[in-house]
Amino acid sequence: MALSRADAGTIIHGILYRYGKPLALFSAVFSGALIISRILVLPMLTAVEVQGEMRDIPSLQSQAEVLRGEVTALEGRRNEDVLPLSGTPYRSLVDAKIGEIHPMDFLRSVRATAHAATPDHGGAIVITSMTYGDGEAAISGDVSGVGLSSMTVLAQFLEALRTDERVVRVTPPAFTRLQDPRIGPHSPFTITLHFR
């Protein structure tokens, strides 16, 4: 015998009404227990002992923060006492001078890069001049003795220079291949390397 729509509604409503009270009671007891636990039990569970004193996490975090600030300030003042002239234009100049890239070391590393970039054609890349200053170095030279591959070799050299950690940006040269009756095909270049 099929139930009418009205009967089904009455049954569902009866079920919801019957279970409503126990559910509300359970929810109230469960939430109450959790509120009590949150206020009384949780702080005890999460407190940790530091130097014989029970501390909760927020107070530990704030104490650590205060101490970190104190240590940083003390370290700064200690360093100023030990190293006079800290923070002066003199110290900035001295630090800039001592921290700057050594032009000759840089030129030597560029030469080594040129050699490493063409292991099969030693001496294919010749550096003829370098202009250093204002946070950049312009390297001029020529690629020769590799036949028609001079531009490919120059591109390899350029890629190798890009991997230098001291260099932040490379202005590539104008890729060209010239014909010289004495040395054959060659690619003169000027590459500008911008330092960090």
The type of residue at 186 is H
Nearer to another protein, 31 or 171 (CB): 31
Start-end of H helices in 53-120:
57-82, 89-99, 103-117
User: Least Å distance between CB 1 and another protein?
Assistant: 25
User: Least Å distance between CB 10 and another protein?
Assistant: 10
Length of the chain counted residue by residue: 196
Nearest of 47, 70, 71, 72 to residue 60 by alpha carbon: 47
Residues interacting with another protein, by CB under 8 A? 13, 16-17, 20-21, 23-24, 26-28, 30-31, 34-35, 37-38, 42, 45-46, 48, 50-51, 57, 60-61, 63-64, 67-68, 70-71, 74-75, 77-79, 81-85, 88-90, 92-99, 102-104, 107, 127-134
Nearer to another protein, 2 or 45 (CB): 45
The type of residue at 42 is L
Nearer to another protein, 78 or 169 (CB): 78
User: Least Å distance between CB 148 and another protein?
Assistant: 26
Nearest of 151, 152, 171 to residue 161 by alpha carbon: 171
148 contact partners, CB below 8 Å, separation of at least 6: 177, 185
Nearer to another protein, 13 or 162 (CB): 13
Query: Which H or E run contains 15?
Result: helix 5-36
User: Least Å distance between CB 69 and another protein?
Assistant: 10
